[in-house]
Amino acid sequence: MSEDSLYQQLRSHLAYLRLSAAAEALPGELDYAKAHKLGHTAFLERLLGVEVDATEIRRRSILERFARLPSPWRLADFDFDAQPAVDRNMVNELGTLRFLEDATNVLFIGPPGVGKTMLAVALARASIDAGYRTYYTTAADLVARCHRAALEGRWATTMRFFAGPRLLVIDEVGYLPLANEAAAALFQVITTRYLKSSTVLTTNLGVGSWGKIFDDPMVAAAMLDRLLHRSVVFNIDGDSYRMRAHRARSERLREGVAARAEN
């Protein structure tokens, strides 16, 4: 076979195997191999390396889009000094994602503005980076979605959807009271994931007050049982980060004014 038809044959092999990045890189890599006198092994390694990189990027971006994270926060962005109520070592341990292996849940409990969503999103980001299927939702969205699903006869599909991700973030539980159907939806999502995959949940209500968001205190108790059975709980009772920044700014302004007044 001529060099030319061999080349065409190779291209069609790559196309048949859907190795389109390698197919595209082929002419350039052949030239490179010739110029640098690469052996077969080195050439093949480079060519397939191109395909592996492309696949990795594609996979990452699919995971990324699927997860629907509301912001790009990472653990490195979190200012631990500003929030001493958050155990830095514990957060760093969670950042290793070992907690996903035994389906440990993580609860961030605290008033608005203390960084609950930020930490939950940062863990979700780490999970995406590690290649795990990850999904972010607020409790309100989860409940609305389950409600629609019930009306449209897609309840089972929707439960399978929420069972799927290796890490599920349910943000803002407790901001809205959950009536029977809504509580049942949340309860079932927690139950289907129980001991199988990790859920990260944020709430403004201490677990002692969970009875208040659910009409049925038994449902609240059963849900907490499953959530807490294997869990890491952060009680973040510090100041709101935004308020703190605001206060620091006012403080600086005041000091500036006072300094000027003295001169």
Site for ligand ADP in 128-167 (CB under 6 A): none
Site for ligand ADP in 66-95 (CB under 6 A): 78-79, 82-83
In whole angstroms, what is the distance from residue 144 CA to residue 185 CA? 9
Q: Does 198 bind Mg ion (CB under 5 A)?
A: no
φ, ψ (nearest 5 deg) of residue 67: -70, -30
User: Could you tell me which stretch among 3-11, 115-123, 141-149, 252-260 binds ligand ADP (CB under 6 A)?
Assistant: 115-123
Q: Does 7 bind ligand ADP (CB under 6 A)?
A: no
Of 83, 104, 105, 117, the residue at the interface with Mg ion (CB under 5 A) is 117
- Nearer of residues 7 and 78 to ligand ADP, judged by Cβ: 78
Which residue's beta carbon is nearest to the bound ligand ADP? 115
Site for ligand ADP in 29-68 (CB under 6 A): none
Q: Do 185 and 142 meet the contact criterion of CB atoms below 8 Å apart? A: yes
Q: Round the CA-based radius of gyration of the chain to a whole number and report it.
A: 26
- Nearer of residues 121 and 159 to ligand ADP, judged by Cβ: 121
| Number of Cα atoms under 13 Å in the Cβ half of residue 256 | 6
User: Could you tell me which stretch among 52-60, 108-116, 127-135, 140-148 binds ligand ADP (CB under 6 A)?
Assistant: 108-116
Residues in the interface with ligand ADP (CB under 6 A) total: 15
Of 70, 113, 164, 211, the residue at the interface with ligand ADP (CB under 6 A) is 113
SS3 for 230?
Answer: coil
Q: How far is the CB of 171 from Mg ion (least distance, A)?
A: 6
238 binds, among Mg ion, ligand ADP, none (CB under 5 to 8 A by kind): none
Residues in the interface with Mg ion (CB under 5 A) total: 1
Q: Degrees (nearest 5) of the Cα angle 225, 201, 142? A: 100
SS3 for 26?
Answer: helix
Strands (E) located in the chain: 105-109, 134-138, 167-173, 198-203, 231-235
Q: Does 175 bind ligand ADP (CB under 6 A)?
A: no
SS3 for 24?
Answer: helix
Which sign, positive or negative, has the C-alpha torsion 218, 223, 227, 233?
A: negative
User: What is the identity of the amino acid at 154?
Assistant: R
Question: Which DSSP string corresponds to 161-172?
Answer: HHHS-SEEEEEE
Q: Do 115 and 85 meet the contact criterion of CB atoms below 8 Å apart? A: no
Q: Which residues contact 224 (CB under 8 A, 6 or more apart)?
A: 207, 210
Site for ligand ADP in 181-220 (CB under 6 A): 202
Residues 81-100 as x/- pattern, contact with Mg ion by CB under 5 A: --------------------
- Nearer of residues 123 and 220 to ligand ADP, judged by Cβ: 123
| Interacting residues with ligand ADP (CB under 6 A) | 78-79, 82-83, 110, 112-118, 202, 241-242
| Interacting residues with Mg ion (CB under 5 A) | 117
